[in-house]
Amino acid sequence: MDVWWTSGGHLLNIQQMVMNQEIDKFPIKDLPSRYNIGRSALYERFKHANIKANKEGTRSFVSGEQLEELDRLHNHLKRGGTFEDFEALLTQEFTENSQEAISLNSSPDSPVDVHRTSSWEAEREALEVLIDAIASGIERVAINRIQSVNPIGYMGQLKMAAEEGWLLTTSEVKELIKVKPHTRKGEDTYRRGSWLFTKAGKIGRETAWRVAKEETGNDN
């Protein structure tokens, strides 16, 4: 057996060195069981962590640095955090190849059909966006058309959204109040002045917010 001697006289064999190198190549197929999630959830985590899958032949894997980032996102979500308030450290861009790698290297216990391709996923995502646009497009267009130079003009728009029961995206709320809405751990409501913004699901990839005016008790 081939062996190597370190400067301190310690013996290392070639097999051990290879094992150390393999730590930096964690198979994608083992990620769902590592985090106890399905392929779709893993797909979302790759996007929000800016993870681009690596491939060697038919093998798909993440590097040690990417695995650390996925672990950090996992711990963030376990502590009650969301994708929206997670700040990714990596600058790599999620690609269709990454999505395909997840699809083809899912664990055998994954409840999702592993034969679905990245093309199918792209079509599904486009359909979801179209449905969201049909469901909420009219409300959002109406709000965007109501523009005013009045510094408190946004109050009227918020009042309209509250009375009509419209759901606003995070970017739409930010455009109106000039601050990105956020919540503390364990809470679903953000307060800004006399307005309350409560999380109400998703609109596309953004958080949806329901608007309400806070009762002050002085409206008699």
Nearest of 74, 50, 77, 48 to residue 62 by alpha carbon: 50
Is residue 198 predicted with pLDDT exceeding 90? yes
Q: What is the per-residue pLDDT across 35-45, written as a single tens digit (0 to 9) for each?
A: 999 888 888 89
Cα–Cα distance measured from residue 80 to residue 77, given in angstroms and rounded to the nearest whole number: 5
**In this model, does residue 99 exceed pLDDT 90?**
no
pLDDT at 207 (0 to 100): 93
Instruction: Give the integer Cα–Cα distance in Å for 212 and 220.
Output: 18
Q: What is the pLDDT of residues 54-74, one digit of tens each?
A: 888 888 888 888 899 999 999
